[in-house]
Each structure stands twice: as C-alpha cells, then as structure tokens.
Amino acid sequence: MSTEARWAGTAKPDVFSSGDTAGNKIQRQMVRVVIQHNTDDVEGLLNLLKEVRDEIFKFPGYVTSEHLINVKDPTNLLVISTWQNLDRWNAWVNSEICKKMTARVKTKLTKPLKITVYNYFVIREKRVWSTF
C-alpha cells in the first residue's frame, strides 16, 4: 500500500506499535475522548469538572482538555480530553479516583454520560498525518 493511500484515509491507519517484549501490541496513537453531560445545575457541574481536571493533571498520559457549553442549550456541556494513547485513557477510567469523581459528577446529571473515544489525527495539506 502506498504512503499516500495510507494517509489519505483510504486504509485503516496502523495505530499500534510492533509490541512489547512479550509480543503484545501497544497502542501508540493519541486519542480524543468526548464526554457529553446534561445537567440542570450548570454551576455545580462546572465546579465538579474543575475538581476532576485537577486530578487528571496528576495522571500519567493526560495531555489536555477543553470544556464547552452549548450556546443554544447551556445545560449541555462537552469535555474533550486528549490522552497519549488508549491504554492511558483506560487506566484513568479504571482508577479509583476516576470512579469516585464520576460518581459525584453523575449526581449532577439529568441524562447518562455519553462517552466516545476517537483516534486523533491532524489534517494538513489534503493529507491525514497521525500524531505519533
């Protein structure tokens, strides 16, 4: 397969390294996680999300995040976070601190959390470039 075809999005990109010493494949592709929140207590939820962000800063693999409020419906908030790879995101999700913080966040929600994880790519000059 040509490099152009691979990076033009016509083939599934290889997001895994050849593996560790045990032969397990390791994901090396950054991921973006989109978390949708719906609440009737925007200020309370934002305060909790600030606490979550303070904890995430300490966690290995976290890169950055954005907090967005829907201009037409301010009860709808998005958090978009970037992680070094899927393994790091999964480590966060399965950590005790994340579970505790998520339980607190859920008390402020009017609908269940909606979480979607995406591989992160940057489009430049009509080509898709991975971030690894």
Give the residue-averaged pLDDT of 2-19. 44
Q: How far apart are CA 130 and CA 127, in angstroms?
A: 10
CB 82 within 8 A of CB 31: yes
Which domain, by its residues, includes 70?
A: 30-130
Query: Which CATH number belongs to the domain containing residue 82 in this structure?
Result: 3.30.70.100
Structural domain includes residue 100 = yes
pLDDT above 70: residue 86? yes
Structural domain includes residue 10 = no
Residue 105: exposure state from Cβ atoms within 10 A (0-12, 13-18, ≥19): buried
Structural domain includes residue 66 = yes
Structural domain includes residue 77 = yes
Tokens read off for 126: 């009509």
pLDDT tens per residue, range 102-120:
999 999 999 999 999 999 7
Give the residue-averaged pLDDT of 30-46. 96
**Helix 96-106 vs helix 42-56: crossing angle, to nearest 10:** 170
Structural domain includes residue 9 = no
The number of domains in the chain is 1
